[in-house]
Structure 1
Amino acid sequence: MSRVQVVRPAGAGHETLYVLLISLFILSVAAAVVALRGEKHDEISIEAHQLDARRNLSAAEQGVYADLRVAFEEIQLRREEDPALLEVAVLAEEGFPPFVKDASSASRGEHQWQLLSDQAYLGLSQATSVAGSFLLLVPTAHDGAADVWLQRKADAYVPADLSPAALIAAGWQQIAAHYDAGVTRQHRH
């Protein structure tokens, strides 16, 4: 005689309920930890005549802007010896982007650079659909900061007066760079 014994599942519904409750508890604890320890990011507002270097520039424009900031540092170092600004040809000969003509400059708008009255460098874009024209204002103080402006119109011109008000009236926009912990990936706890 053979016997068949039927074994019924032991409350699978209860086990599922317990797993769901534990999962919800873990998720709520994780959310509380993130909410309490999360960093607050204050939005830095920029003015209407400014562009954010991280958010409002195309990749080509960001590349030219970064090159200008590096070249500016070299220009300022050279001004400690001689206060006159370096000619564009000298910067190109020494290989300083964006002044040098190479594959990078060709893919970033083929800017035609010129020195304006020993106080600024103007780079007129030959391909405004790729990148706009740039203006690097060099402060008279050797420890001043780079002041970079952008004009995306094909017929960009620079007013005789290089004051911010005159540049804004001519359609130029100042590039503003704000660096915070989110950008530099430096977290201090």
Structure 2
Amino acid sequence: MNPASTQVVRPAGAGHETLYVLLLCALILSVAATVVLWRGEKSESQSLASHQLDARRDLSAGEQGIYADLRVTLDEIRLLQAESQALPSPEELAAEGFAPFAQDASSVSRGGHAWQLQGQAYLGLSHNPQVAGSFLMHIAADAPDKVEIWLNRSPSAPLPKALDEQQLISAGWQQVVAQFDAGVTRQHRH
């Protein structure tokens, strides 16, 4: 028989393992911070002129809906214009069911606009300016791709004789523009 022997087993020190884990975490955080700073996008916001409104930030929900409808219907207007060599009347567009010219529940809830053709422009006078102002979609005769959409929130929106920018601005109209920057979806306005 062997004499009884006692062997002392010391616990493994957690000090070294903890140090290695903390160093690894610090390395991962520093690499991640470097990548974020190096690859991060610079926020370049374009400023609007005093007579312009941003379609996503400055319009009410009803106005955004009418603006979107006008942009979508513009393709159909161009097709009909190519067929007949003239801009289709708002009545023709309403008969085809194109928003915002068609008188349906949606158009009534968005201000109940009365549309008319004024030369090279569609004028939609609002019956309820608190919900949505009056709209003007001007299609240039010499450049059909150049389309401007204007908004006037006054109860009686005057239409100037000339549809150039200075005349519209002096009559109280504001041009609606769409800015496509990545930061618009990351804004939290409360």
Give TM-score scaled by structure 1 length: 0.80
Find the counterpart in structure 2 of residue 174 from structure 1: 175
Find the counterpart in structure 1 of residue 115 from structure 2: 113
1:135 deviates by 0.3
Identical positions, percent: 55
1:165 deviates by 0.5
Q: Give the number of aligned pairs.
A: 176
Find the counterpart in structure 1 of residue 70 from structure 2: 68
CA distance, structure 2, for counterparts of residue 109 and residue 22 of structure 1: 61
CA deviation profile, 1:108-132 (whole Å, cap 9, x unmatched): 111111111x311111111211111
CA distance, structure 2, for counterparts of residue 35 and residue 104 of structure 1: 46
Counterpart pick for 2:80 among 68, 78, 81: 78
1:181 deviates by 5.5
1:45 deviates by 2.0
Q: Read off the aligned partner of 1:67 and give its amino acid letter.
A: D
Q: Read off the aligned partner of 1:83 and give its amino acid letter.
A: Q
> After the TM superposition, which of the residue ranges 24-33 and 85-94 deviates more from structure 2?
24-33
Find the counterpart in structure 1 of residue 30 from structure 2: 28
Q: Read off the aligned partner of 2:101 and give its amino acid letter.
A: F
Kept in 2, the 8 Å contact 1:80–1:142? The answer is no
Higher alpha-carbon Rg: 2
Counterpart pick for 1:97 among 99, 103, 110: 99
Kept in 1, the 8 Å contact 2:45–2:181? The answer is no
| Structure 1 unmatched runs, 5+ | 1-9, 185-189
Kept in 2, the 8 Å contact 1:120–1:136? The answer is yes
Give TM-score scaled by structure 2 length: 0.80
Q: Read off the aligned partner of 2:145 and give its amino acid letter.
A: G
CA deviation profile, 1:87-143 (whole Å, cap 9, x unmatched): 111100100000001121122111111111x31111111121111110010110354
State the secondary structure of the residue aligned to 2:83. Answer: coil
Matches within 5 A, 1:88-167: 88-116=90-118, 118-141=119-142, 143-167=144-168
CA deviation profile, 1:59-111 (whole Å, cap 9, x unmatched): 21111001111112211122222222111111001000000011211221111
Kept in 2, the 8 Å contact 1:69–1:146? The answer is no
Find the counterpart in structure 2 of residue 7 from structure 1: none
CA distance, structure 2, for counterparts of residue 113 and residue 123 of structure 1: 4
State the secondary structure of the residue aligned to 1:80. Answer: helix
Question: Could you say if the C-alpha distance between residues 147 and 21 of structure 1 is closer, same or farther in structure 2, counting changes exceeding 3 Å?
Answer: same
Q: Read off the aligned partner of 1:153 and give its amino acid letter.
A: S
CA RMSD of aligned residues (A): 2.6
Kept in 1, the 8 Å contact 2:77–2:87? The answer is yes
Kept in 2, the 8 Å contact 1:128–1:154? The answer is yes
CA distance, structure 2, for counterparts of residue 153 and residue 21 of structure 1: 65
1:30 deviates by 1.9
